[in-house]
Amino acid sequence: MSTMRFVVISDTHFYAPGNGKDGQWWHRTLHSRSQQVAEALVGAVTALNPEFVIHCGDLTGLCDMDNYDFAKGVMDRFDCSWYVVPGNHDTWYPGVRAAFSQLYDLPDERCYYNRVINDIHFLFLDTCSWAAADGSVSPYLDKEKCDSGQISGLYVSNEQLIWLAEQLEKNSEYRTILVGHAPVRYKPAYAAVKHWDGTPTKDGKLDLGNAIDGVVNVDEVRHIIDQQPNIIAMFNGHWHINDINVVNGVVYCQTASLREWPFEFRLVEVSDRTVSISTHGLGDSSLLEDSYLEELGNDWIAGNPDVRSHTFTV
């Protein structure tokens, strides 16, 4: 095959003009400037001339249809196909999940699907159902349970797990790339200096894997993945960091957010035997300057050189 180029973006948290309010996470979140981010993103991605764009979820900051329509309008400006999976911010309320499924003509508000592109099998997963302490699972966030502390985290539905295993087995002749929102492989702890509210973390470490919106049934997902030697990579967002972990020969690539510093995305180039991942910025210095909070010490989210650029053979 000739070299295939695609872009991976995540966590745009798009708000329609006038809807977004700035806040703080790792750095200052510029929700009020989604239009400015969109303009920079379309320009930066178009300059790389990818064959398609993958969005790893949290397309919207708040999943009402006003914000969704704005976000879809931004994505439609790319001069290529684009694919998206739902994030946790996209699944708080009914509406956006139905709109996601309509994009790809999927039944019953289902938001997982597959595509074969240039002899690579892509599986786009929905990691953002919601599990409660009582064992129930909902496609949308139950606010009453959330407010009373009864939400255990995110969940991959049993129906989807069956589908995932079947698709991997049926398409075992293809090299396979998985796409989801929440990571399923990651480091035990990350070197956060301060929490999102500015308070110091214990021993300067933060265990993101135990966050409330981690994947509750992650072991089941991992078990299915580990049975299939044809999987070469998985792309995720959610934690707003750049990172790469290699487990059992699979490259797990996390991509930072496009609502805050460092405003970056990934370019992936796939040839016959080699996959190269590189990191690119939006090229808008005012976004970087206005978002960056040096006093939090969270520069680490941009990643060290080893996770910002990674090449491997398949």
**Both ends of the chain: CA-CA distance in Å?**
13
pLDDT tens digits for range 69-84: 999 999 999 999 999 9
Mean pLDDT for the stretch of residues 42-46:
98
The alpha helices in the chain, defined as continuous H runs, are 34-48, 65-75, 96-103, 143-147, 158-170, 218-226, 285-291, 305-308
pTM of this structure = 0.97
Q: Residue 61 sits in a domain of what CATH number?
A: 3.60.21.10
Domain range enclosing 268:
4-313
* CA–CA distance, 22 with 29 (Å, rounded to integer): 5
Chain-centroid distance of CA 97 in Å reads 16
Instruction: Flag whether pLDDT at 1 surpasses 80.
Output: no
pLDDT tens digits for range 275-307: 999 999 999 999 999 999 999 999 999 999 999
| Vertex 249: Cα angle to 176 and 171 (nearest 5) | 20
* CA–CA distance, 165 with 178 (Å, rounded to integer): 12
Number of domains composing the chain: 1
pLDDT tens digits for range 256-275: 999 999 999 999 999 989 99
